[in-house]
């Protein structure tokens, strides 16, 4: 439980001692002061004060002046004005200046404790929200998406800019490129970050149930509707709804979605009135923009959704990220399966560079997990033999856009490893899974010394 420090300020020492004794019996940490100046000094030494009980009438600095200083320097501190001059104008003035409450002397002990309990619970909730936001940002934030490629850098800039607005975002990319991860990161960068993020795979919802799942229904509206059901749009109210594979949504339902975008209203099945919703929509599809606009989506809906369009490249177009992603997945699955894989052997990264990865990042992740999951506890290195037994090799496309020469791939990997290790050659060799001697030989070969 987060501690709730309480500052008690009054020029009456007997009253201060009485309040201190009462609060300490209830588990509060109490800080005392007998003047406004002393209170300000005490607060600078104890920044984590969740409540301040301030006497209104004191020499040198009155309670209102002190309240202004408290709210200016410690806006997170909740203040209660304590006074023997309980008039309506004083109470109104206290609230206008930012006090949470106003208590007259002689004070009611139970009333004071109830008001402090509300402050304590609010303080705990705010701390929990802060910790949760930190945890989510650390795990899912844009900064945690693994990439060092230039193309992804420009995508991150676009995503961060989109997050500052409430505009609809359309993410286009092949299966396994990380569309939901990026959508969640945009949500966490937005002002809606403490509100719900609801992910919906439209391809996984039966078409006959999609409307009721998305928009909800009223009791008795159809056979089996035994009670009201809010639906996923209401579940995401105030937050973000992520509609993955939106191209699979039936046309008649696309009309209702268009109304949500235009009017910010939904109509549950069986309901005679519409419900106002405050929601941000992020849509995604593994189909191309042209396919979506011309075949799978109503044109008007496409343009309403595609205010900001982000195209995620397949892994074969950002091969320089393969070493980074491989290292990340090794750490992740070492922890999950209690293994101690330290890296990959010479040639593994080159082999991965030659592979087409039709399943993109998800396929690479599943590959590394599969190798580590069945590896013996003493295994320390992933080898090319491990790859051959897990990877489904396919003919690499001969297109000049998808086929890189082995020489270019090796140079790519070396440059990326050096960037990530900030020029530390020992670390670069470790990332690539090769010896220092091999690294120096390759650096000389490619003129990267």
Over residues 283-332, the pLDDT tens digits come to 999 999 899 988 999 999 999 999 999 999 999 999 989 998 999 899 99
pLDDT at residue 315, rounded to an integer = 94
Between CA 192 and CA 397 the distance in angstroms is 43
Q: Does domain 144-313 have CATH number 3.40.50.620?
A: no
Between CA 152 and CA 19 the distance in angstroms is 59
SS3 call for 151? helix
Residue 354: pLDDT band (50, 70, 90) is confident
CA angle 383, 388, 389 (to 5 degrees): 100
Position of tokens 């009980």?
53
209, containing H or E segment:
helix 207-215
Q: What is the pLDDT of residues 39-54, one digit of tens each?
A: 888 888 776 788 999 9
pLDDT at residue 142, rounded to an integer = 67
Radius of gyration of the chain (CA): 30
Q: What is the pLDDT of residues 329-353, one digit of tens each?
A: 999 999 999 999 999 987 888 889 8
Between CA 197 and CA 62 the distance in angstroms is 47
Contact of 279 with 265, CB cutoff 8 Å: no
Position of tokens 């995401």?
236
- Distance of CA 317 to CAs 62, 130, 189, 334, Å? 67, 37, 26, 27
24 forms beta bridges with: none
pLDDT over 90, % of the chain = 43
Those residues whose C-beta lies under 8 Å from the C-beta of residue 158, and which sit 6 or more positions away, are 308, 310
pLDDT at residue 244, rounded to an integer = 96
The answer to whether domain 5-132 and domain 144-313 are alike in fold is yes
Longest dimension (CA), the chain: 88
Name the nearest CA neighbour of 194 among 243, 140, 139, 132: 132
CA angle 249, 251, 256 (to 5 degrees): 85
Between CA 95 and CA 101 the distance in angstroms is 7
pLDDT at residue 403, rounded to an integer = 38
Between CA 366 and CA 352 the distance in angstroms is 13
Q: What is the pLDDT of residues 213-225, one digit of tens each?
A: 999 998 888 888 8
pLDDT at residue 246, rounded to an integer = 95
pLDDT at residue 267, rounded to an integer = 92
The full DSSP string for 82-143 is EES---HHHHHHHHHTT-SEEEESSPPHHHHHHHHHHHHHHHHHHHHHHHHHHHHHHHHSGG
Between CA 447 and CA 441 the distance in angstroms is 10
Q: Is 235 exposed, middle or buried (0-12, 13-18, 19+ CB in 10 A)?
A: middle
pLDDT at 264 over 60: yes
Q: What are the structural domain ranges in the chain? A: 5-132, 144-313, 317-445
Q: Which long-range contacts (CB under 8 A, 24 or more apart) does 23-27 make?
A: 23/116, 26/113, 26/116
SS3 call for 29? strand
What's the chain's length in residues? 449
Q: How confident is the model over 147-175, as a mean pLDDT?
A: 92
Cα–chain center distance at 342? 29
Is the CA virtual torsion 386, 391, 394, 399 positive or negative?
Answer: negative
Name the nearest CA neighbour of 39 among 57, 52, 56: 52
Between CA 209 and CA 218 the distance in angstroms is 14
Between CA 422 and CA 410 the distance in angstroms is 18
CATH of 317-445 among 1.10.760.10, 3.30.540.10, 1.10.8.60, 3.90.550.10: 1.10.8.60
Q: Does domain 5-132 have CATH number 3.60.150.10?
A: no
pLDDT at residue 101, rounded to an integer = 84
């Amino acid at each position: 439980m987060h501690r709730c420090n309480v500052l008690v300020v009054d020029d009456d020492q007997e009253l201060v001692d009485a309040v201190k004794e009462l609060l300490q019996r209830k588990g509060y940490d109490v800080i005392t002061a007998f003047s406004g100046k002393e209170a300000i000094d005490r607060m600078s030494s104890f920044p984590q004060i969740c409540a301040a009980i301030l006497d209104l009438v004191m020499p040198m600095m009155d309670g209102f002046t002190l309240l202004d200083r408290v709210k200016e320097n410690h806006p997170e501190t909740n203040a209660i004005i304590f006074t023997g001059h309980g008039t309506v104008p004083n109470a109104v003035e206290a609230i206008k200046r930012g006090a949470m409450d106003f208590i007259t002397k002689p004070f009611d002990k139970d009333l004071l404790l109830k008001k402090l309990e509300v402050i304590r619970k609010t303080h705990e909730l705010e701390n929990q929200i802060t910790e949760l936001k930190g945890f989510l940002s650390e795990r899912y934030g844009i900064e945690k998406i693994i990439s060092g490629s230039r193309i992804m850098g420009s995508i991150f800039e676009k995503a961060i800019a989109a997050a500052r607005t409430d505009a609809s975002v359309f993410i286009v990319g092949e299966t396994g490129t990380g569309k939901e991860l990026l959508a969640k990161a945009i949500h966490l960068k937005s002002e809606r970050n403490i509100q719900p993020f609801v992910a919906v795979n439209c391809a996984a919802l039966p078409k006959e149930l999609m409307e009721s799942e998305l928009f909800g229904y009223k009791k008795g509206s159809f056979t089996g509707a035994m009670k009201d059901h809010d639906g996923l749009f209401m579940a995401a109210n105030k937050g973000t709804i992520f509609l993955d594979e939106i191209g699979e949504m039936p046309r008649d339902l696309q009309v209702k979605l268009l109304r949500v975008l235009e009017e910010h209203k939904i109509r549950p099945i069986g309901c005679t009135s519409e419900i106002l919703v405050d929601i941000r929509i992020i849509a995604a599809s593994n189909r191309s923009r042209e396919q979506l606009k011309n075949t799978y989506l109503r044109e008007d809906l496409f343009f309403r959704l595609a205010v900001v369009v982000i195209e995620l490249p397949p892994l074969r177009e950002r091969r320089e990220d393969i070493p980074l992603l491989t290292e990340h997945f090794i750490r992740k699955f070492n922890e999950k399966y209690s293994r101690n894989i330290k890296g990959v052997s010479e040639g593994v990264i080159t082999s991965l560079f030659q592979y087409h990865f039709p399943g993109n990042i998800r396929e690479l992740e599943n590959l590394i997990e599969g190798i580590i999951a069945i590896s013996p506890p003493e295994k320390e290195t992933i080898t090319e033999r491990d790859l051959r037994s897990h990877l489904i090799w396919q003919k690499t496309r001969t297109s000049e856009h998808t086929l890189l020469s082995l020489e270019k791939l090796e140079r790519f990997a070396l440059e990326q490893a050096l960037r990530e290790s900030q020029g530390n050659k020992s670390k670069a060799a470790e990332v690539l899974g090769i010896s220092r001697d091999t690294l120096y030989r390759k650096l000389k070969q490619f003129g990267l010394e």
